């Protein structure tokens, strides 16, 4: 949702000296400017959205950026209060303003940054060219705003668009794709280009072919209708997602990130492996206000990773823990990386229903990570932090007001208020709270800076939504979703028959083997599609391409299917070889990036099970014909199964595992999450028996040792 960072204000401070900047928890606090510079460098290296021109590099263009950003934010606030404009006009102003800012802020290539170029002249030429592109992008959107009557006229319906219309549409699409490449990255642009070519040249496609279309029709329908560029993602982004981004900026200004860190350490810091557990809790809390796995990793990890290393965790494991927890922050209600608002539109379900349902799988994901951290710490004998080095509850209670804006947002949304109205009130409350403390108090200049920053942090989201909308539009216009669903299902049946599991493909369904294979294929597709994509674009692409497979072919409840693809799209951030969050964390931990990614997979292993469970057993998220009894049984067996899997992957349960014990734990864990009560009972028996065996062995070795 936004890229933010915090400095030493976000570190855990000695409660006896709230302003103390000396030694904190036994770790020397780095100079603020040095810490900021390091975090900024890591973020710019691994997050495309952070590679913008700095204010010092813009020179006289700084005024233009300020004016356009302020105008864009002003338009969004005005329409939130007075009512949205027609879909195309609202979207055109939203996208046009964003693209103008993107071309002024994001260079063609990072080598054209003033600090890295050899001549100032080369830099100025690039900036002038980008200004022309910015004006062209805004001009294409202005063409829609001022030509709205013509574009929706009877003449167009009878005789079609003019040559000028088509030219403007083509230029507008190309500029959107280029702007997206600059601030989001190449992967989503490549997907969009392939999608457009598929729409145009579908009859020549070697697989999933269709009748195709003319290139003129493709660009016209993509740019002048509400089915592609200005489809659901941009409609949602232009009405209330933008406001939630501004809300996040104001929260950062109030130092809520620092409060989250302090609260996390108070809750978990003194227990076994305390700093790692605090990292998990802090990242979960950070995820409620940020929408980028990489930004979350850098914001939390710049403090938690050195703390984990200090108490004895290996750099690779410290990086993996932070990356896994920060990625999970995107599935945390109430914001869920802003994708939850698009999910509400796609699934036609109330926002309040989605966040209530999403609480259970999010809890299980973080519980799985927490358990993995616990067993790792026990295996290596890593203790917690002395209680006298942690913030006191009184210290935290004095700053409890920082959570009030979040409470207001959630309360209003749950009471039925619109997201836009809830966001406005959340911003107002957050601004009021900022006046309570001198270091967060906003003067007029500070208030204007917040409005400008709101526009800046929204740029990657807007670009991603516009380009992802192109992909969604192609899927709808060509019927690709249905063709892809049929192809994957048929392919799964053929594979099962080919390896000799079942003789007749038609008998595959009754054994559930085809369904299992389709789930695995869908998971892999989501991970591949999600590599390198921000949260919102990630969800739009996976929901458009992969979710229909589960819904149309296997009658999976709509919300379960959408959460399934959402989870696995996000988990691409910790899945090698891309694993951007793990790479960013390794930069802080100074560990091997690929090894950190592989370790992150191990830490998140139990969490990978959760989406499969709520698809096979929708009772876990109260979908289908779920009852309280079904939910309770499913929840307990899944929770115990995740503990067993985490213990097996960590090599420690109540004592260090032998190879056989590790295998037994993994088998028992899988049995517990298997949707069959008899199989689950077998899993429970194995877990209890192994626990008793290890406790007895441990007591024999050390009679004074505790049972847990």
Return d(Cα 208, Cα 484) in angstroms, integer: 7
Q: Which pLDDT band, with edges at 50, 70 and 90, does 114 fall under? A: low
For residue 439, the tally of other CB atoms under 10 A from its CB is 10
628: part of which helix (H) or strand (E)?
A: helix 628-650
Give tens-digit pLDDT for 285-300: 887 777 678 888 888 8
What token pair was written down for 344? 């509400």
Q: Which pLDDT band, with edges at 50, 70 and 90, does 127 fall under? A: confident
Please tell me which residue, 456 or 252, carries the higher pLDDT value. 456
Share of the chain above pLDDT 70, in %: 89
> Can you point out the beta strands (E) in 116-176?
none
Residue 7: φ, ψ to 5°: -105, -145
Give tens-digit pLDDT for 355-372: 889 999 999 999 999 999
Range of lowest pLDDT (52-66, 84-98, 176-190, 649-663): 52-66
Give the position of tokens 């004006």: 135
Give me the chain's average pLDDT, please: 84
In contact, 105 and 113? CB cutoff 8 Å? no
What is the per-residue pLDDT for 283? Answer: 86
651: left (phi over 0), alpha (psi -120 to 50) or beta: left
For residue 605, the tally of other CB atoms under 10 A from its CB is 21
Q: What is the pTM of this model?
A: 0.86
What is the per-residue pLDDT for 34? Answer: 62
Give tens-digit pLDDT for 299-308: 888 888 888 9
Torsional sign, CA 668, 672, 676, 678: positive
505: three-class secondary structure by DSSP: helix
Q: Which pLDDT band, with edges at 50, 70 and 90, does 20 fall under? A: very low
Q: What value does the mean pLDDT take over residues 482-486?
A: 75
Q: Tell whether the model's pLDDT for residue 47 goes beyond 70.
A: yes
In contact, 284 and 325? CB cutoff 8 Å? yes
Return d(Cα 384, Cα 378) in angstroms, integer: 11
- Chain centroid, CA 15 distance in Å: 33
Give the position of tokens 């516009």: 466
Contacts of 184 (CB under 8 A, 6+ apart): 48, 49, 460, 463, 464, 467, 533, 534, 537
What is the per-residue pLDDT for 551? Answer: 87
Q: Which pLDDT band, with edges at 50, 70 and 90, does 419 fall under? A: confident
Q: Which of 195, 228, 189 is nearest to 484 (CA)?
A: 195
> Greatest CA span in the chain, whole angstroms?
90
What is the per-residue pLDDT for 3? Answer: 46
Return d(Cα 624, Cα 617) in angstroms, integer: 9
Give tens-digit pLDDT for 432-462: 988 888 888 888 888 888 888 889 989 999 9
Q: Which pLDDT band, with edges at 50, 70 and 90, does 226 fall under? A: very high
What is the per-residue pLDDT for 249? Answer: 87
């Amino acid at each position: 949702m936004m890229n933010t960072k915090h400095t030493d204000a976000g570190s855990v401070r000695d409660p006896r000296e709230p302003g103390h900047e000396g030694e904190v928890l036994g770790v020397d606090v780095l100079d603020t400017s040095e810490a900021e510079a390091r975090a900024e460098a890591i973020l710019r290296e691994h997050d495309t959205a952070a590679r913008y021109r700095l204010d010092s590099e813009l020179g006289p263009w700084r005024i233009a950026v300020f004016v356009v950003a302020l105008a864009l934010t002003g338009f969004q606030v005005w329409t939130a209060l007075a009512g949205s404009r027609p879909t195309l006009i609202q979207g055109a102003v939203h996208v046009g303003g964003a693209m103008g800012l993107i071309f002024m802020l994001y260079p063609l290539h990072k080598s054209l940054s003033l600090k890295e170029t050899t001549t100032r002249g080369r830099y100025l030429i690039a900036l002038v060219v980008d200004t022309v592109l910015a004006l062209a992008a805004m001009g294409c959107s202005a063409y829609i705003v001022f030509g709205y009557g013509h574009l929706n006229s009877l003449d167009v319906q009878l005789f079609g668009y003019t040559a000028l219309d088509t030219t403007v549409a083509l230029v507008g699409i190309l500029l959107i794709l280029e702007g997206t490449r600059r601030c989001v990255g190449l992967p989503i642009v490549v997907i969009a280009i392939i999608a457009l070519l598929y729409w145009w040249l579908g009859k020549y496609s070697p697989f999933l072919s269709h009748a195709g279309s003319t290139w003129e029709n493709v660009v016209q329908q993509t740019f002048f209708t509400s089915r592609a560029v200005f489809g659901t993602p941009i409609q949602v982004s232009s009405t209330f997602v933008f406001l939630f981004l501004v809300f996040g900026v104001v929260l950062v200004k109030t130092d809520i990130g620092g409060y989250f860190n302090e609260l996390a350490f108070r809750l978990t810091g003194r227990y076994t492996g305390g700093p790692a557990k605090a990292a998990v809790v802090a990242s979960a809390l950070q995820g409620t206000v940020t929408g980028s796995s990489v930004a979350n990793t850098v914001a939390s990890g710049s403090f938690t990773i050195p703390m984990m290393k200090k108490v004895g965790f290996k750099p690779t494991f410290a990086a993996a823990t932070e990356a896994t927890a920060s990625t999970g922050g995107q599935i945390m209600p109430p914001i869920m990386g802003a994708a939850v608002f698009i999910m509400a539109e796609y699934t036609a379900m109330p926002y309040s229903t989605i966040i209530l349902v999403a609480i259970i799988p999010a809890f299980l994901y973080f519980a799985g990570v927490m358990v993995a951290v616990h067993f790792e710490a026990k295996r290596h004998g890593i203790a917690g932090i002395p209680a006298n080095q942690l913030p006191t509850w009184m210290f935290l209670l004095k700053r409890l007001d920082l959570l009030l804006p979040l409470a207001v947002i959630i309360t209003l949304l749950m009471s039925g208020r619109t997201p836009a109205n809830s966001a406005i009130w959340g911003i107002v409350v957050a601004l009021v709270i900022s006046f309570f403390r001198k270091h967060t108090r906003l003067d007029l200049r500070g208030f204007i800076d917040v409005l400008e920053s709101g526009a800046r942090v929204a740029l990657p989201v807007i670009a991603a939504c516009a380009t992802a909308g192109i992909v969604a539009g192609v899927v709808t216009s060509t019927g690709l979703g249905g063709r892809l669903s049929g192809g994957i299902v048929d392919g799964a049946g053929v594979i099962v028959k080919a390896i000799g599991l079942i003789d007749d493909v038609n008998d595959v369904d009754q054994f559930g083997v085809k369904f299992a294979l389709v789930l695995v294929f869908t998971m892999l597709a989501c991970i591949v599609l999600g590599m390198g994509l921000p949260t919102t674009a990630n969800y739009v692409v996976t929901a458009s391409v992969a979710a229909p497979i589960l819904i149309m072919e296997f009658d999976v409840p709509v919300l379960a299917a959408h959460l399934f693809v959402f989870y696995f799209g996000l988990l691409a951030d910790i899945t090698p070889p891309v694993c951007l969050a793990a790479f960013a964390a390794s930069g802080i931990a100074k560990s091997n990036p690929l090894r950190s990614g592989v370790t992150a997979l191990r830490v998140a292993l139990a969490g990978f099970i959760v989406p499969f469970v709520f698809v096979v057993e929708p009772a876990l998220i109260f979908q289908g014909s779920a009852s309280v009894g079904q939910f309770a049984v499913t929840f307990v067996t899944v929770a115990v199964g995740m503990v067993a899997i985490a213990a097996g992957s960590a090599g420690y349960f109540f004592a260090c595992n032998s190879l056989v014990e590790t295998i037994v734990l993994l088998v028992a864990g899988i049995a517990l999450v298997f949707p069959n009560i008899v199989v689950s009972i077998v899993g429970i028996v194995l877990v209890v028996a192994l626990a008793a065996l290890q406790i007895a062995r441990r007591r024999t070795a050390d009679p004074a040792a505790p049972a847990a």
